[in-house]
């Protein structure tokens, strides 16, 4: 299974570098967009950003990009893309190279072929390698994987945290199995309210939009 952990490992590494204020990310000078990124052989179309909203018709979901955030999808694709994995969206509150006194919040969405993980039968199984690699970057498990509803659709959620001096970095990952792929949504921020607000921007097609009460693990 280890050879297929490239998306998890590179995503966590990217995020850890980007969220520490004053540090440099992997490609600090690039100003790229996911609007015209081509698909690669064997993977579904990557989706696109239009009017500040990312839409993916293949997986039938959308994500409202917060105003003023920067798109680094192409940069992350250069680092992690393979024949069986693809970063669909990678957005940051500010450029990863920019300094600041707060955690640089971000959202990363990726798809990996489920066949890349022998023995993976349910979405919760993905949290084995995800937790191992996240912990290797200094994060601690806050909540073990549990069911979490988004627009009435059940996903599996896991929560992590990492101390950064006077700051705390929070990571929440949502995972589902869709059309033979592991579809993962990773959210990072400085507070739980901030992370929950980022999750609230995620929508799945074909379901009635109703007022949402964020579920919190206690």
Specify if 52 maps to a domain. yes
What is the rounded CA–CA span in Å between residue 5 and residue 9?
6
Specify if 66 maps to a domain. yes
What is the rounded CA–CA span in Å between residue 90 and residue 74?
8
Could you tell me the residue range of the domain that residue 175 belongs to?
2-40+47-204
CATH number at residue 114: 3.40.1000.10
b/e sequence 91-128, b meaning 16+ C-beta within 10 Å: bbbbbbbbeeeebbbbbbbbbbbbebbeebeebbbbbe
Residue 63 tokens read as: 């994500």
> What are 128-154's pLDDT values in tens digits?
988 988 888 889 999 999 999 998 899
Specify if 164 maps to a domain. yes
Taking residues 146-172, what's their average pLDDT? 92
Greater model confidence, 30 or 210: 210
The pLDDT assigned to 200 comes to: 96
Query: Residue 118 phi/psi, 5° resolution?
Result: -55, 130
DSSP letter assigned to residue 124: G
What is the rounded CA–CA span in Å between residue 69 and residue 87?
17
What is the rounded CA–CA span in Å between residue 49 and residue 65?
8
> What are 2-60's pLDDT values in tens digits?
434 445 545 555 555 443 322 323 333 333 334 434 444 456 778 999 999 999 999 99
Specify if 218 maps to a domain. no
Residue 76 tokens read as: 């992350």
Strands 202-204, 70-71: pairing kind = unpaired
The pLDDT assigned to 88 comes to: 93
Specify if 213 maps to a domain. no
Strands 106-113, 181-189: pairing kind = antiparallel
Q: Which residue has the tokens 């705390």?
A: 168
The pLDDT assigned to 117 comes to: 85
Taking residues 160-185, what's their average pLDDT? 92
Specify if 215 maps to a domain. no
Specify if 212 maps to a domain. no
DSSP letter assigned to residue 65: P
Say how many domains are in the chain: 1
Secondary structure in 3-state letters for 149-212: EECCEEEEEEEEEEEECCEEEEEEEEEEEECCEEEEEEEEECCHHHHHHHHCCEEECCCCCCCC
What is the rounded CA–CA span in Å between residue 27 and residue 29?
6
Specify if 211 maps to a domain. no
């Amino acid at each position: 299974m280890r050879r297929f952990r490239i998306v998890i490992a590179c995503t966590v590494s990217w995020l850890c570098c980007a969220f520490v204020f004053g540090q440099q990310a992997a490609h600090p000078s690039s100003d790229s967009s996911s609007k015209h990124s081509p698909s690669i052989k064997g993977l579904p179309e990557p989706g696109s950003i239009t009017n500040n909203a990312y839409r993916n018709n293949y997986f039938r979901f959308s994500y409202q990009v917060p105003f003023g955030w920067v798109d680094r999808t192409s940069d992350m694709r250069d680092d992690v893309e393979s024949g069986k994995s693809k970063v669909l969206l990678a957005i940051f509150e500010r450029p990863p190279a920019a300094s600041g006194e707060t955690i640089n919040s971000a959202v990363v969405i990726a798809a990996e072929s489920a066949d890349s993980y022998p023995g993976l039968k349910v979405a919760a199984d993905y949290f084995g390698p995800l937790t191992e690699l996240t912990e290797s970057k200094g994060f601690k498990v806050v909540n073990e994987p549990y069911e979490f509803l988004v627009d009435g659709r059940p996903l599996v959620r896991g929560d992590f945290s990492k101390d950064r001096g006077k700051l705390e970095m929070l990571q929440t990952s949502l995972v589902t199995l869709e059309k033979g792929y592991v579809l993962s949504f990773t959210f990072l921020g400085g507070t739980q309210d901030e992370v929950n607000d980022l999750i609230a921007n995620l929508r799945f097609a074909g379901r009635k939009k109703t007022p949402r009460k964020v579920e919190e693990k206690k």
